[in-house]
């Protein structure tokens, strides 16, 4: 049986950014459907978009770069969700804003389980430590650290050890939330939203009481 190929309408001048986003969206769809990075080839992504495989190389050097870009996009999407949740409740104080972010993190993961798993399951080549500031994990950790620091509300300049303490607690919080989500996903029955919300609140209270 011959595979059908639906050719995409060629981009107009200056529309290369739109094509790049279509490639990212197609790669994410295929990854979510298969659940296995090894099953997604550049040829399959090109077929999904309706372009020739070589056209992808105008935007991504190789398959690894495309997979990394998919991961970055999901991280950025989640960070934007967390920041919106925090802003909606910031009038109630930084503590409530942090709690709202924690709740939204769990909600996002449980509402988008396959997208969430892609953040942690895609393989990436080992990079030098000096590239850490540009890594999506750094973006996420900075978002949590800023929220934790706002709760501490320490007047005046922050010495380095205080900043590192906030980052440590932010990492603990993120790790614990990820653990709660992973356990919820692994259990063979539906998650009780009220029970999960109670655990999230207790977790935030415990870490911020340190």
pLDDT the model gives residue 125:
57
Buried b (16+ CB within 10 A) or exposed e, 66-93: bbbbbbbbbbeebbebbbebbeebeeee
Mean pLDDT, range 188-197, rounded to an integer: 93
28 Cβ contact list (under 8 Å, min separation 6): 70, 73, 74, 115, 118
pLDDT tens digits for range 64-99? 899 889 999 999 999 999 999 999 998 999 999 999
pLDDT the model gives residue 94:
94
pLDDT the model gives residue 3:
41
pLDDT tens digits for range 99-147? 999 999 999 999 999 899 988 876 655 666 666 567 889 999 999 999 9
Q: What angle do CA 194, 197, 200 make, to 5 degrees?
A: 155
pLDDT the model gives residue 132:
59
Q: Predicted confidence band at 2 (pLDDT cuts at 50, 70, 90)?
A: very low
CA–CA distance, 182 with 190 (Å, rounded to integer)? 13
CA–CA distance, 63 with 2 (Å, rounded to integer)? 25
Sign of CA dihedral 97, 102, 103, 105: positive
pLDDT the model gives residue 68:
87
Lowest-pLDDT range of 6-10, 133-137, 194-198: 6-10
CA–CA distance, 78 with 88 (Å, rounded to integer)? 15
Task: Return the residue matching tokens 């999407």.
Answer: 77
pLDDT the model gives residue 64:
87
Mean pLDDT, range 193-208, rounded to an integer: 94
pLDDT the model gives residue 173:
97
Q: Where are the alpha helices (DSSP H) in the chain?
A: 16-34, 42-49, 53-56, 63-89, 94-111, 113-121, 136-152, 160-186, 193-208
Other beta carbons within 10 angstroms of residue 171's beta carbon come to 14
Q: Domains of the chain, with CATH numbers?
A: 1-60 (1.10.10.60), 70-208 (1.10.357.10)
pLDDT the model gives residue 122:
66
Nearest to 144 by CA among 207, 194, 196: 207
pLDDT tens digits for range 13-67? 455 578 999 999 999 999 988 877 778 899 999 999 999 999 999 999 998 899 8
Distances (CA, A) of 113 to 107, 116, 169: 10, 5, 25
Q: Predicted confidence band at 5 (pLDDT cuts at 50, 70, 90)?
A: very low
CA–CA distance, 136 with 65 (Å, rounded to integer)? 14
């Amino acid at each position: 049986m011959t595979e059908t190929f639906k050719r995409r309408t060629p981009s107009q001048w200056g529309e290369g950014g739109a094509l790049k986003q279509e490639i990212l969206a197609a790669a994410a769809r295929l990854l979510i459907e298969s659940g296995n990075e090894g099953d997604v080839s550049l040829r399959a992504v090109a077929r999904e978009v309706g372009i020739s495989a070589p056209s992808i190389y105008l935007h991504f050097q190789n398959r690894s770069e495309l997979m990394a870009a998919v991961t970055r996009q999901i991280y950025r999407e989640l960070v934007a969700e967390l920041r919106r949740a925090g802003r909606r409740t910031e009038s109630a104080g930084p503590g409530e804003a942090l709690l709202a972010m924690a709740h939204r993190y769990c909600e996002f993961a449980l509402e988008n389980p396959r997208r969430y798993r892609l953040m942690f399951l895609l393989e990436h080549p080992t990079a030098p430590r000096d590239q850490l500031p540009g890594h999506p994990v750094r973006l996420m950790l900075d978002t949590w650290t800023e929220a934790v620091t706002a709760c501490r509300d320490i007047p005046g300049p922050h010495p380095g050890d205080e900043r590192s303490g906030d980052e440590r607690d932010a990492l603990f919080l993120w790790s614990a939330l990820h653990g709660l989500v992973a356990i919820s996903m692994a259990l063979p029955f539906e998650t009780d939203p009220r029970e999960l919300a109670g655990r999230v609140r207790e977790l935030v209270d415990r870490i911020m009481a340190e």
